[in-house]
C-alpha cells in the first residue's frame, strides 16, 4: 500500500512538472517582445492628440507667428477624425489600427499623473520609477534617488550594456541618474563616443553643433536628438531605448501654437520613421514594442501655455502603445482610469520581468499585455 501511494505521488509530481513545462514553453512561444522603446513628448496635450488642432488657438493671431493660411490648410478640418490625422498621421494610421491609444477624455477614457506637481521632473520620474516621490518638487532637483526601470532592466541577463537614453532636455541625466547607474544618457551638446563609430554616427554628432540652441543652454532641438538616437540604434542595436522629445513643451511655453503643432507633427514623422526602420531590421522586427506618453498635461484656453499644480487639467495625459504582445485595441473608448505610475511595471512586464525596488511600484496596465 505504501509503495502504491509513493508511486502515485511520484506520478502526480511528474504530471505537474510536465504541465508546468508545457505552460512555460507555451508562454515562451507566445511572449515575443524582446526590445522596447520608451518615448516621451514633453507637455503634449491629449486635446491635440484626440481632437487635432484647437480652433480657438489655431485661428488666434496671438499664438501664431507664421503664415496662418498655410498652417490652417495643413492642420485644419471641420471633421475631427480627419483633423487629428492631419496632425498625427502615424498615430492615427498605424497605432490606431495595430496598437492602443488611451486618454480620450471625451470618451470617458482617463489617463492622469499621480504626482501632485504636474510638471516635468516629477512626471518623468513617475514614468520611469513607477513611484511618486513628494521630495522631488523642482526641475532643478539633483540626481534622482529612486531606482528606475531602465537601470533595473540593465541588471537583467541579456540586457546589461544594452540600455540607453537620448534626451532633448539635459535634466534627464539627473532624472535617470546616470552618475549612479552608468547608463548611456546622451543630452544637449554631448557626442556619442566610442572607438568604432559609424560615419552616420559621426555626422549626427557633428550636426547637433551646427544647430542653434533655440531654447537656451541645456535643451536640444528634437531633430538632432533623433538623429543621434537613430544612428546609435542602427549601429549598436540596444534592446531598451529611452527617447525624450522636448520641442512641444518649449514652443508651448513661448505661446507659439503654430510651432507647437509643427513640433508634434514632426515628432509623429520621426516615430513613423523609427517604426519603419524597426520593421526592416531583423534584430527588431516582430519583437519590439514602443510606449509613448507625455510627462504632464497643460491648461486650456489662455492657460494652454502653462502647467503645474495651479493650472487646471495639467494632470491629464495620454498613452500610446504598439508591439507584438500588445493587443490591437486602437482608440480605447471604455470608461477606465490609467495612472502614469503604471508605466514602469508595464515596460518591465512586456520584457518578461517584474520590476521590484525599495520603493512601491505601480501595477502594470493589464490591457496592454496579452
pLDDT over 50 at 28, yes or no: no
Query: pLDDT digits over 198-213, tens only?
Result: 999 999 999 999 999 9
Paired with 330 in beta bridges are 100
pLDDT over 80 at 6, yes or no: no
SS percent in the chain: helix, strand, coil, step 5? 45, 15, 40
pLDDT over 70 at 27, yes or no: no
In percent, the amount of the chain with pLDDT more than 90 equals: 89
What local confidence, expressed as pLDDT, does residue 22 receive?
Answer: 39
Determine the Cα–Cα distance for residues 127 and 339; give it in Å rounded to an integer: 9
Is 49 within 8 Å of 103 (Cβ atoms)? Answer: yes
Determine the Cα–Cα distance for residues 274 and 268; give it in Å rounded to an integer: 10
43: left (phi over 0), alpha (psi -120 to 50) or beta: left
Query: pLDDT digits over 64-81, tens only?
Result: 876 678 889 999 999 999
Q: Where are the alpha helices (DSSP H) in the chain?
A: 2-30, 46-51, 55-58, 68-75, 80-87, 89-90, 96-98, 120-129, 149-154, 172-176, 178-181, 199-207, 222-236, 247-253, 257-278, 343-350
- Provide the CA 287 distance to its chain's centre, in angstroms: 17
Strand extents, DSSP E, 324-367: 330-331, 336-339
What local confidence, expressed as pLDDT, does residue 69 receive?
Answer: 85
What local confidence, expressed as pLDDT, does residue 18 receive?
Answer: 41
Is 178 within 8 Å of 185 (Cβ atoms)? Answer: yes
Spell out the residues 6+ positions from residue 61 whose beta carbon is closer than 8 angstroms to its own: 68
Average pLDDT, the chain: 93
Amino acid at each position: 500500500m505504501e509503495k502504491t501511494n509513493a508511486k502515485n505521488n511520484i506520478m502526480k509530481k511528474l504530471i505537474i512538472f510536465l504541465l508546468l513545462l508545457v505552460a512555460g514553453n507555451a508562454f515562451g512561444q507566445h511572449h515575443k517582445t524582446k526590445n522596447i522603446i520608451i518615448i516621451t513628448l514633453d507637455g503634449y496635450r491629449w486635446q491635440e492628440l484626440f481632437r487635432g488642432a484647437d480652433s480657438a488657438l489655431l485661428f488666434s493671431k496671438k499664438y501664431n507667428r507664421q503664415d496662418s493660411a498655410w498652417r490652417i490648410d495643413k492642420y485644419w478640418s471641420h471633421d475631427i477624425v480627419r483633423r487629428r490625422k492631419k496632425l498625427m498621421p502615424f498615430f492615427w494610421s498605424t497605432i490606431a489600427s495595430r496598437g492602443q491609444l488611451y486618454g480620450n477624455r471625451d470618451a470617458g477614457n482617463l489617463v492622469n499623473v499621480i504626482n501632485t506637481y504636474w510638471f516635468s521632473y516629477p512626471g518623468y520620474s513617475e514614468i520611469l520609477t513607477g513611484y511618486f516621490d513628494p521630495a522631488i518638487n523642482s526641475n532643478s532637483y539633483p540626481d534622482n534617488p529612486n531606482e528606475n526601470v531602465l537601470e533595473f532592466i540593465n541588471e537583467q541577463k541579456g540586457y546589461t550594456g544594452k540600455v540607453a537614453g537620448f534626451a532633448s532636455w539635459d535634466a534627464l541625466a539627473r532624472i535617470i541618474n546616470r552618475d549612479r547607474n552608468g547608463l548611456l544618457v546622451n543630452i544637449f551638446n554631448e557626442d556619442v563616443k566610442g572607438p568604432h563609430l559609424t560615419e552616420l554616427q559621426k555626422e549626427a554628432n557633428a550636426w547637433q553643433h551646427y544647430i542653434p540652441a533655440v531654447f537656451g543652454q541645456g535643451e536640444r532641438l528634437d531633430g538632432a536628438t533623433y538623429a543621434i538616437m537613430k544612428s546609435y540604434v542602427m549601429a549598436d542595436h540596444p534592446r531598451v531605448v529611452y527617447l525624450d522629445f522636448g520641442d512641444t513643451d518649449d514652443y508651448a511655453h513661448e505661446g507659439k501654437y503654430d510651432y507647437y503643432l509643427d513640433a508634434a507633427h514632426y515628432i509623429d514623422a520621426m516615430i513613423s520613421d523609427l517604426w519603419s526602420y524597426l520593421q526592416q531590421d531583423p534584430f527588431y522586427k516582430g519583437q519590439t514594442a514602443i510606449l509613448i506618453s507625455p510627462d504632464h498635461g497643460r491648461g486650456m484656453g489662455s492657460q494652454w501655455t502653462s502647467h503645474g499644480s495651479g493650472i487646471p487639467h495639467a494632470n491629464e495625459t495620454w498613452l500610446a502603445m504598439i508591439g507584438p504582445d500588445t493587443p490591437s485595441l486602437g482608440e480605447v473608448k471604455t470608461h477606465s482610469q490609467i495612472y502614469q505610475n503604471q508605466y514602469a511595471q508595464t515596460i518591465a512586464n512586456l520584457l518578461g520581468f517584474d520590476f521590484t525596488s525599495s520603493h512601491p511600484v505601480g501595477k502594470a496596465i493589464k490591457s496592454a499585455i496579452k
